[in-house]
Amino acid sequence: MSRQSKDPEVIEMSAKVNGLGHVGFYVRDLETMMEFYENFMGMTLTKVGPLGAFFSADPAACDHEIALINGRPSLEDPQWIQQISMRVDSLDDLRDFKRRILERGYQLDRIVSHASAIGCYFRDPENNPTEVFWLTGYTSWAQVGIPIDIDQTDEEVMSDILRSFEAVKDVEMGKPANSETVEAIRELSATASSR
């Protein structure tokens, strides 16, 4: 049974998500939460940096299912979900979601290259942070989010992805990026933002 749109003009849907990618939590004590997910839950630390830490139960299949993000002001703060993230099958599906987000008037926060994926971050009707993402085929263990224009041709998008990947490809799983990589990410972000 499908729900009817509350909008008088129904927006045709072509793309849909194919599964849950990961859940992000705001945390107060990153070290304690890292120990919990690594040693108690038995997950693998895959990405770590100033933003927080990412964990996967099977890094070969999925680079992270849990994202621990610094920034929870107190344990009583009800704003602890950082994002709900879901996969899509193709770059065109991601473009379709962007189009429909804008048509519906939802808040589009950003679209970025993570090298391993392109993430489209927006707010659902109740302002919950949501991401739809497409896996690019590259493996990256860096925490990176470089602005990207997905309305370019496929070749131009993939060229931007390759630049992101080249900047972060030497980051090892579970290790923070070195200062040279951090500077390369900053430069790419500045260049992408000025377009």
The pLDDT of residue 147 is 97
Q: Report how far residue 69's alpha carbon sits from residue 83's, in angstroms, rounded to the nearest whole number.
A: 10
> Would you kindly state where each structural domain of the chain is located, as residue ranges?
19-193
Q: What is the pTM of this model?
A: 0.82
Per residue in 50-94, pLDDT (tens digit) is: 899 999 999 998 889 999 999 888 888 777 888 999 999 999 999
CB 117 within 8 A of CB 158: no
The pLDDT of residue 127 is 83
Parts of the chain with a pLDDT under 70? 1-13
CB 87 within 8 A of CB 136: no
Please give the single-letter amino acid code of residue 82: Q
The pLDDT of residue 128 is 82
The pLDDT of residue 112 is 97
The pLDDT of residue 7 is 53
Per CATH, the number for 19-193 is: 3.10.180.10
The pLDDT of residue 4 is 42
